[in-house]
């Protein structure tokens, strides 16, 4: 059998009885580690060796950690000083104990907080009490420090090691070590004899002009081999997913809507039959603009029809809200809290003219809400807005559309829960299951627009509509648990770099 030189070196160095580290084999054979690893994977692909992987943890004391091993932990000093001052009998003033301990500067805070954390005693109203049974001589963190210093990290308590890392006394790093072992086929190959094949890994002008390229053997590409990590810019996964959502919806026959981030409350709320005293319209939920604070180009006739719907309802049995409706409120400018404002603009005929059914429109755009920040809420997020206008739509159509849409992102366990919106009847919230935590996560809100919305807009067929959260879709696709991992300044760069695009 003929093999490239690196492979022959690995085959000869590998053993059938035990794993041999590739980096060691590489050194013996005078190969760079990357070439040895590549050769090992090539041999593995042909069944001649197996490659195993192990993660080694390295423990290194920081300078501060080393100092404490030589001396003692600051909280131990504090405890000793407290005992000497009689704090095991009765509380002693903190100043006195600290003075006697010889602790200075930052070490004082370190001593106090760890003293309290470890229950060496209590610190209350400027006085220290020491627990006579605390025995800081047997402090597990000190033991762990000493074990690491002696190169016996495996003897140390795991919690203590974690704690030391948190305190900045210890650096823990991981190294992936790969090893090879000969398979039976590898042994057979060696016994039958393996020779070095001269392979060419680069096609040069000389090879081409001399015609030699016809006779040489080329090195094969191994697309699975490890390559050097070159950090580079890439499209944010939120943007990638937004684009995928757009492609998917275009593929489902939808057209894209565009419109202002700052809009009149009229489009954001009033067209949606949200009473002007609705709690979602206050500054608790929405951001209002101070300047300019209103717009003046609302379509007169539509304003009139919307006012009438709010006052009297629509149709012979219509019922309006028995609350005030002011045009000045409708003119007020807000950052849109949902992109349903765009749907109103398009459905009204105001954007691209009157629309005849069937029609499908969508947007994937930012919305703004005055929420409290937490792992699932931000002040701004992307909404996947959409609507379908057709004769005779039902809840089945709505569910069918969602099922089809989410399936393209691998989400097949949607759940629907009846809901209330002032503008749709019936309304449904949509839920999916978080792939990591198993929690049921709300991903969107939907429904069929009521007459009180459609009639003033001049639409006389059915319209089903929704607003879905792009970030929540991402959570279900990639298993993120905190929305701040993908948004804003706390974004986890590593995760953004490494998350693979799903197709």
- Smallest distance from the beta carbon of 484 to ligand PHE, in angstroms? 21
484 lies in the site for ligand PHE, by CB under 6 A:
no
Q: Is the dihedral of CA 397, 399, 403, 409 positive or negative?
A: positive
- Smallest distance from the beta carbon of 387 to ligand PHE, in angstroms? 7
Cβ nearer to ligand PHE, comparing 80 with 365? 365
- Smallest distance from the beta carbon of 465 to ligand PHE, in angstroms? 4
- Smallest distance from the beta carbon of 467 to ligand PHE, in angstroms? 3
Determine the interface stretch with ligand PHE among 88-96, 112-120, 146-154, 459-467 (rule: CB under 6 A): 459-467
Cβ nearer to ligand PHE, comparing 95 with 400? 400
Cβ nearer to ligand PHE, comparing 180 with 388? 388
Cβ nearer to ligand PHE, comparing 114 with 446? 446
Cβ nearer to ligand PHE, comparing 332 with 467? 467
Residue nearest to ligand PHE (CB): 467
Distance CA 121, CA 135 (A): 11
Residues in contact with ligand PHE, shown as a per-residue x/- string from 301 to 340 under the rule CB under 6 A: -------------------------------------x-x
Buried b (16+ CB within 10 A) or exposed e, 165-194: eebebbeeeeeeebbbbbbeebeebbeeeb
359 lies in the site for ligand PHE, by CB under 6 A:
no
Determine the interface stretch with ligand PHE among 71-79, 132-140, 258-266, 462-470 (rule: CB under 6 A): 462-470
- Smallest distance from the beta carbon of 423 to ligand PHE, in angstroms? 6
> In whole angstroms, how far apart are CA 425 and each of 287, 311, 454?
27, 19, 12
Cβ nearer to ligand PHE, comparing 183 with 424? 424
User: Taking a C-beta distance cutoff of 8 angstroms, is the pair 496, 236 a contact?
Assistant: yes
The residue among 241, 234, 251, 236 whose CA lies nearest residue 384 is 241
Cβ nearer to ligand PHE, comparing 368 with 480? 368
Considering only 273, 467, 480, 486, the residue that binds ligand PHE (CB under 6 A) is 467
The strand pairing partners of 200, in sequence order, are: 218
Cβ nearer to ligand PHE, comparing 140 with 422? 422
Buried b (16+ CB within 10 A) or exposed e, 407-426: eebebeebeeeeeebbbbee
User: Taking a C-beta distance cutoff of 8 angstroms, is the pair 376, 473 a contact?
Assistant: no
Cβ nearer to ligand PHE, comparing 112 with 344? 344
Cβ nearer to ligand PHE, comparing 259 with 447? 447
User: Taking a C-beta distance cutoff of 8 angstroms, is the pair 466, 402 a contact?
Assistant: yes
- Smallest distance from the beta carbon of 64 to ligand PHE, in angstroms? 51
Please count the residues of this chain forming the interface with ligand PHE, following the rule CB under 6 A: 10
Q: Tell me the two tokens of residue 379.
A: 């002040």
Strands 333-335 vs 424-433: parallel, antiparallel or unpaired: unpaired
- Smallest distance from the beta carbon of 247 to ligand PHE, in angstroms? 21
The DSSP result for 296-315, as a single string, is S---HHHHHHHHHHHHH-SS
Determine the interface stretch with ligand PHE among 162-170, 256-264, 393-401, 445-453 (rule: CB under 6 A): 445-453
Residues in contact with ligand PHE, shown as a per-residue x/- string from 404 to 443 under the rule CB under 6 A: -----------------x--x-------------------
- Smallest distance from the beta carbon of 487 to ligand PHE, in angstroms? 18
| Per-residue three-class SS string for 258-271 | CCCCEEEHHHHCHH
Cβ nearer to ligand PHE, comparing 292 with 358? 358
Q: Which residues contact 160 (CB under 8 A, 6 or more apart)?
A: 140, 141, 143, 144
Distance CA 232, CA 236 (A): 12
Distance CA 3, CA 17 (A): 23
465 lies in the site for ligand PHE, by CB under 6 A:
yes
Tell me how many helices (H) and strands (E) the chain has.
20, 19
Cβ nearer to ligand PHE, comparing 73 with 454? 454
Axis-axis angle for helices 5-13, 184-192 (nearest 10): 110
21: three-class secondary structure by DSSP: strand
Determine the interface stretch with ligand PHE among 174-182, 283-291, 323-331, 444-452 (rule: CB under 6 A): 444-452
445 lies in the site for ligand PHE, by CB under 6 A:
yes
Tell the residue number behind the tokens 């039902």, with chain if given. 394
Distance CA 37, CA 441 (A): 43
Considering only 7, 183, 269, 446, the residue that binds ligand PHE (CB under 6 A) is 446
363 lies in the site for ligand PHE, by CB under 6 A:
no
DSSP classification of residue 354: -
> What dihedral do alpha carbons 198, 199, 203, 209 form, nearest 10°?
40
Considering only 59, 368, 466, 480, the residue that binds ligand PHE (CB under 6 A) is 466
Point out which residues bind ligand PHE (CB under 6 A): 338, 340, 421, 424, 445-447, 465-467
């Amino acid at each position: 059998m003929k093999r490239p030189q690196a492979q022959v070196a690995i085959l000869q160095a590998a053993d059938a009885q035990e794993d041999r580290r590739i980096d060691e084999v590489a050194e013996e054979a005078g190969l760079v580690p990357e070439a040895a690893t590549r050769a090992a994977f090539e041999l593995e692909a042909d069944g001649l060796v197996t490659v195993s992987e192990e993660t080694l943890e390295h423990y290194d004391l920081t300078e501060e950690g080393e100092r404490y091993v030589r001396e003692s932990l600051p909280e131990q000093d504090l405890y000793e000083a407290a005992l000497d001052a009689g704090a095991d009998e009765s509380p002693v003033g903190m100043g006195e104990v600290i003075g006697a301990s010889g602790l200075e500067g930052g070490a004082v805070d370190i001593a106090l907080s760890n003293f309290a954390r470890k229950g060496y005693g209590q610190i209350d109203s400027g006085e220290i009490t020491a627990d006579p049974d605390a025995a800081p001589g047997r402090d597990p963190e000190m033991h762990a420090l000493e074990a690491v210093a002696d190169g016996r990290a495996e003897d140390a308590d795991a919690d203590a090691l974690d704690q030391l890392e948190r305190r900045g006394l210890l650096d823990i790093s991981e190294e992936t070590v790969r090893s090879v072992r000969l398979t039976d086929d590898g042994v057979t190959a060696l016994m039958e004899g393996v020779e070095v094949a001269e392979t060419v890994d680069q096609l040069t002008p000389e090879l081409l002009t001399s015609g030699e390229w016809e006779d040489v053997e080329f090195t094969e590409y191994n697309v699975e081999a490890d390559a050097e990590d070159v950090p580079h810019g890439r499209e944010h996964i939120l943007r990638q997913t937004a684009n995928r959502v757009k492609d998917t919806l275009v593929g489902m026959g939808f057209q894209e809507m565009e419109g202002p981030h700052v809009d009149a409350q009229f489009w954001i709320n009033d067209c949606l039959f949200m009473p002007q005293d609705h709690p979602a319209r206050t500054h608790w939920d929405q951001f209002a603009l101070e300047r300019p604070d209103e717009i003046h180009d609302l379509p007169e006739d539509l304003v009139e029809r919307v006012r009438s719907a709010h006052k009297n309802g629509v149709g012979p049995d219509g019922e309006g809200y028995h609350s005030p409706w002011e045009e000045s409120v409708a003119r007020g400018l807000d950052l849109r809290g949902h992109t349903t404002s765009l749907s109103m603009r398009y459905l009204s005929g105001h954007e691209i003219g009157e629309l005849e059914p069937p029609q499908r429109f969508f947007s994937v755009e930012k919305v703004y809400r005055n929420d409290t920040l937490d792992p699932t809420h931000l002040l701004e997020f992307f909404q996947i807005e959409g609507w379908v206008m057709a004769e005779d739509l039902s809840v089945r159509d709505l569910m069918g559309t969602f099922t089809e849409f989410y399936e393209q992102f691998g989400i097949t366990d949607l759940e629907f829960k009846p809901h209330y919106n002032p503008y749709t009847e019936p309304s449904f919230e949509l839920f999916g299951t978080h792939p990591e935590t198993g929690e049921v996560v709300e991903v969107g809100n939907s429904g069929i627009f009521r007459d009180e919305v459609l009639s003033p807009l001049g639409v006389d067929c059915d319209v089903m509509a929704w607003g879905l959260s792009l970030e929540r879709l991402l959570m279900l696709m990639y298993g993120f648990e905190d929305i701040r991992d993908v948004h804003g300044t706390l974004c986890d760069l590593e995760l953004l770099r490494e998350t693979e695009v799903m197709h």
